[in-house]
A = this chain, B = another copy of it.
Amino acid sequence: MLRIGVIGCGAIGRDHMRRLRDLVPDATVTACSDYFPESAKLAAKQYDIPHVYDTGEELIESAEVEAVLIASSDASHAGYVLACIRQGKPVFCEKPLAQTSADCEKIIEAEMSGGKRLVQVGFMRRYDPGYREMKRIVQSGELGNPLMIHAVHRNMHQPDGLTSEMGVSNIAIHELDICRWLLDDEYKNGQVLKVRQSSYSVKGYDNPQIVLLETGMGCRIDVEVQLSDGYGYDIQCQVVCEKGTVSLPDPYAVVTRSEAGRIMPILTDWSQRFIQAYDIELNEWVQAVKNNGGYGPGSWDGYAACVAADTLNRSRNTGRFMEIQMMPKPDLYADGSN
Interface residues of A, Cβ cutoff 8 Å to B: 21-23, 25, 129-130, 133-134, 137, 143-148, 150, 152, 156, 193-201, 208, 210, 212, 214-215, 217-220, 222, 224, 229, 231-232, 234, 240, 242-268, 276, 283, 319-321
CB distance from A316 to the nearest CB of B (A): 14
Bound complex: CA A148 to CA B247 (Å):
20
**Do A218 and B194 touch (CB < 8 A)?**
yes
Query: What CA separation (Å) do A254 and B245 show in the bound complex?
Result: 10
Which residue from B129, B156, B234 sits with its C-beta under 8 Å from A257? B234
Q: Which residues of B contact A220 (CB under 8 A)?
A: 193, 195-196, 210
A195 to chain B, nearest CB (A): 5
Q: What is the copy number of this chain in the assembly? A: 4
The CA-CA distance from A217 to B319 in the complex, in Å, is 17
How far is A23 from B276 in the complex, measured between Cα atoms in Å?
13
Most chain B beta-carbon neighbours within 10 Å: one of A152, A200, A249: A249
Is there contact, CB below 8 Å, between B198 and A242?
yes
Question: A145-B199, A262-B263, A268-B260 are known contacts. Are A252 and B254 too (CB-CB below 8 A)?
Answer: no
CB distance from A157 to the nearest CB of B (A): 12
A211→B220 CA distance, assembly (Å): 12
With A22-B25, A148-B195, A200-B242 known to touch, is A255 a contact of B247 (CB < 8 Å)? Answer: yes
Taking a contact as CB atoms under 8 Å apart, the answer to whether B265 and A244 are in contact is no
B residues in contact with A320, CB < 8 Å: 319-320
Query: In chain B, what residue has the closest Cβ to A226?
Result: B240
Whether B255 pairs with A266 at a CB distance below 8 angstroms is no
- Give complex CA distance A198, B147 in Å: 7
